[in-house]
């Protein structure tokens, strides 16, 4: 199956990368050394002294990563341009196996490549999860402006007594910062530690207070005045708060891990709101107009993919801790179900404390947390007016009786 190269983000190598062009012509087999000019999931361009004609099928041999075998890909020549005394040959990949696609993804996500973000991306409407994930994971991640203000306030208040625990509270309120922190901590983590960094506190301690401060103030800021981004970000923070609160009623799970999973579960959509806001806005408009009745249905209809799938693909490229990926994906475990239920409840709660889906959410919470009282579960809901709590308790208990076998 051939691949349309225009649908993919192109990357420039940050250091020279050697390649070979191999093809057959009337003179026999040709094997020409080349330099990689740019690369994507759909094709590449090479600089060489000789090149096959347009339309020719060739084998491109790319040495992308040290200590890994060269990648050999069947290509078709799209065009040739003179570059000084050499030729630039642009080629489309004709066949890419799953293993080869994984090698390309790993290479493009490494420090050896930089996305060509200044190139006009006129075909974004055709992009799907792999293309958007490749693009988004190559960008510099922002933080919420309030995180910088919160850190300055903490420094003024605490001074030299500022601790890792103080900084964690800032992280809990910013999914962008949580992601930045986790990625930076994983970069610094020694393989000898034998475990992944899966909680905000562990990540802060991995960096230290000084490095954490440098990370926050060196990061660009996102636009928190954009209503769609603000709503999505508020939903993620609320889901994290709820996951941390509810999970404390069980001794067999880490509240911090469930919190982080819930906080990061919206990161695909949040990144789109920051880098490509027209896309989530179109899905939001479709939902508001009644053209779609569920968020995921609107996303698939308008964008061609679910934002959750984008979150998972980005997590895969970034190599986020396996336990967090499992919790975000929603494997059928108590922890994963609780993380998913926290996200759903936050989504319903943000639409209003009288949302008719909330009683079923609470009934499902009671099934997952049998030792917790319904009154306590309701009390832990963020922003739930006190005068509405008892009515919600009664409705949730009724839902528990009417739908005894329902699961989140």
Residue 60 class from Cβ within 10 Å (0-12 exposed, 13-18 middle, 19+ buried)?
A: buried
Q: Answer yes or no: are the C-beta atoms of 216 and 177 closer than 8 Å.
A: yes
Pairing of strands 43-48, 86-93: antiparallel
Q: Where are the beta strands (DSSP E) in 94-177?
A: 113-115
> Using alpha carbons only, how large is the chain's radius of gyration in Å?
25
- pLDDT value at 406 more than 70: no
Percent of the residues in the chain that have a pLDDT greater than 90, as a whole number:
52
Pairing of strands 18-25, 11-13: unpaired
What pLDDT score does 123 carry? 56
| Tokens coding 234 | 């508020």
Sign of CA dihedral 214, 217, 218, 222: positive
Q: Hey, do 5-125 and 127-350 end up sharing a CATH topology, with the first three levels equal?
A: no
Averaged pLDDT for residues 132-154: 91
Give the bridge partners for 89, in sequence order.
46, 80
| Tokens coding 114 | 């930089």
Residue 367 class from Cβ within 10 Å (0-12 exposed, 13-18 middle, 19+ buried)?
A: middle
Instruction: Report pLDDT digits (tens) over 326-361.
Output: 889 877 788 899 999 999 999 999 999 999 999 999
What pLDDT score does 192 carry? 46
What pLDDT score does 114 carry? 86
Cα separation, 184 vs 74, in Å, equals 36
Averaged pLDDT for residues 137-164: 91
Cβ contacts of 50-56, under 8 Å, gap ≥ 24? 50/87, 51/21, 51/77, 51/80, 51/87, 51/89, 52/21, 52/23, 52/25, 52/77, 52/89, 53/77, 53/80, 54/78, 54/79, 54/80, 56/23, 56/25
Cα separation, 328 vs 343, in Å, equals 10
State which fold the 127-350 domain adopts.
Answer: Hypothetical protein af1432 (1.10.3210)
Taking phi first (over 0 means left), then psi (-120 to 50 degrees means alpha), and beta for anything else, what does residue 24 get?
beta
Sequence length of the chain is 408
How do the domains of the chain map onto residue ranges?
Answer: 5-125, 127-350, 352-408
Q: Answer yes or no: are the C-beta atoms of 362 and 392 closer than 8 Å.
A: yes
What pLDDT score does 1 carry? 40
CATH 2.40.10.220 is held by the domain 5-125 = yes
pTM of the model: 0.72
| Tokens coding 217 | 């103030």
Q: In which band, very low, low, confident or very high, does the pLDDT at 61 lie, cut at 50, 70 and 90? A: very high
Q: Answer yes or no: are the C-beta atoms of 207 and 215 closer than 8 Å.
A: yes
């Amino acid at each position: 199956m051939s691949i349309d190269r225009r649908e993919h983000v192109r990357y420039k190598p940050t250091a020279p990368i050697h390649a070979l062009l191999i093809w057959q012509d009337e003179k026999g087999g040709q094997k020409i050394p080349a330099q990689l000019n740019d690369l994507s999931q759909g094709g590449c361009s090479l600089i060489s002294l000789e090149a096959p004609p347009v339309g020719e099928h060739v084998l491109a041999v790319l040495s992308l990563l040290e200590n890994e075998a060269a990648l050999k890909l069947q290509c078709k020549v799209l065009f040739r341009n003179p570059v000084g005394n050499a030729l630039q040959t642009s080629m489309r990949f004709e066949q890419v196996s799953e293993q080869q696609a994984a090698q390309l993804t790993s290479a493009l996500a490494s420090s050896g490549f930089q996305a060509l973000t200044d190139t006009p991306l006129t075909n974004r409407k055709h992009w799907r999860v792999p293309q958007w994930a490749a693009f988004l994971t190559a960008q510099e991640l922002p933080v919420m402006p309030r995180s910088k203000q919160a850190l300055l306030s903490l420094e003024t208040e605490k001074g030299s007594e500022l601790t890792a625990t103080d900084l964690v509270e800032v992280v809990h309120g910013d999914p962008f910062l949580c992601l930045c922190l986790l990625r930076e901590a994983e970069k610094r983590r020694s393989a000898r530690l034998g475990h992944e960094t899966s909680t905000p506190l562990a990540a802060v301690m991995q960096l230290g207070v000084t490095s954490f401060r440098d990370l926050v103030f060196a990061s660009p800021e996102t636009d928190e005045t954009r209503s769609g981004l603000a709503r999505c970000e508020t939903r993620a923070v609320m889901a994290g708060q709820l996951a941390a609160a509810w999970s404390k009623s069980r001794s067999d799970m880490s509240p911090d891990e469930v919190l982080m999973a819930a906080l990061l579960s919206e990161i695909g959509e949040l990144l789109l709101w920051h880098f490509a806001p027209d896309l989530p806005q179109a899905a939001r408009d479709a939902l508001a107009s009644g053209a779609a009745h569920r968020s995921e249905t609107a996303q698939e209809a308008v964008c061609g993919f679910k934002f959750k799938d984008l979150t998972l693909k980005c997590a895969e490229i970034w190599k986020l801790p396996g336990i967090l990926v499992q919790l975000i994906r929603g494997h059928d475990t108590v922890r994963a179900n609780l993380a998913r239920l926290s996200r759903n409840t936050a989504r319903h709660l943000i639409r209003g404390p009288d949302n008719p889906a909330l009683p079923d959410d609470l009934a499902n919470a009671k099934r997952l947390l049998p030792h917790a009282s319904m009154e306590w579960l309701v009390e832990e809901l963020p922003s739930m007016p006190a005068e509405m709590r008892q009515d919600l308790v009664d409705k949730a208990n009724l839902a528990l009786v009417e739908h005894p076998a329902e699961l989140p």
